[in-house]
Amino acid sequence: MTEDLVKGNEVANSQAGENRAGFGESLAGKYMTFKLASEEYGAEILTVREIIGMLSITRVPRTPEYIRGVINLRGKVIPVIDLSNKFEMPITEETETTVIIVVQLTDRNTDADLTMGIIVDEVLEVLDIPAQNIAPPPTFGTGAVNTDFILGIGKAEKRVIFLLDIGKVLTQKEISTLAEIA
């Protein structure tokens, strides 16, 4: 009976290993990496339109605190969010390395493209992360913490990088609010 349990555990562990090994296949690719506080994050490079220095941001009344406001980028009004604040971290303090990453996502209800800026502490580099270096996001139990916006955990050297699905960082209601602002 003990041998059966050991063999059963070996099969289960082998299957789990195969699932983890194949997990990163669809996520492998290039990511723009950046810092929020002391943590590293990555956004799929195809969602990134450009990186700009901090501009004057006009606050929009009666919007959540994480929505810093809007900027005028070459004649187009673009909403800007403070990603640190959205992640319930301290509000980003502007330094010489603070930038706005302009990203494009699709409104899941209307299929319309939405361009927005995200304020980050520092852009690091573009990394090509292979499938074997991407692990599934952590689970914290049913309903305990929403991590749907984390595609996976990238590993580069001794660093851990949270790979984000920019389109899921905001809820559909929040995306609709940003679309109205823009």
In a domain, 96, yes or no: yes
pLDDT at 137 over 80: yes
| pLDDT at position 148 | 82
Q: Tell me the three state secondary structure of residue 22.
A: helix
- What's the pTM? 0.81
Number of domains in the chain: 1
Residues with Cβ within 8 Å of 119's Cβ and at least 6 positions away in sequence, in order, are 54, 68, 80, 81, 82, 83, 84, 92, 98, 99, 100
Residue range of the domain that includes 126: 27-181
Q: Both tokens of residue 171? A: 């809820």
9 within domain boundaries? no
Which amino acid belongs to residue 101?
Answer: I
Phi/psi zone of residue 62: left (φ > 0), alpha (ψ -120 to 50 degrees), beta?
A: left
Task: Please state the rounded mean pLDDT for residues 34-49.
Answer: 94
**56 found inside a domain:** yes
**CATH code for the domain of 165:** 2.40.50.180
> Is residue 7 predicted with pLDDT exceeding 50?
no
Query: Is 16 domain-assigned?
Result: no
Mean pLDDT rounded to a whole number for the chain: 83
Cα–Cα distance for residue pair 68/130, rounded to 1 Å: 34
Residues 64, 73: contact at Cβ < 8 Å?
no
Q: What is the pLDDT of residues 88-129, one digit of tens each?
A: 888 778 999 999 999 998 777 777 788 999 999 999 999 999
Query: Region 142-161: what's the mean pLDDT?
Result: 83
**Residue 172 resides in a domain:** yes
Domain for residue 86, yes or no? yes
pLDDT of residue 3: 47
**The predicted structure's pLDDT at residue 141:** 60
Spatial distance between the Cα atoms of 77 and 72, rounded to a whole number of angstroms: 5
Q: Identify residue 127 by its one-letter amino acid code.
A: L
Tokens 């929403």 belong to residue: 146
Which pLDDT tens digit goes with each residue over 42-81? 999 999 999 999 999 999 999 999 999 999 999 999 999 9
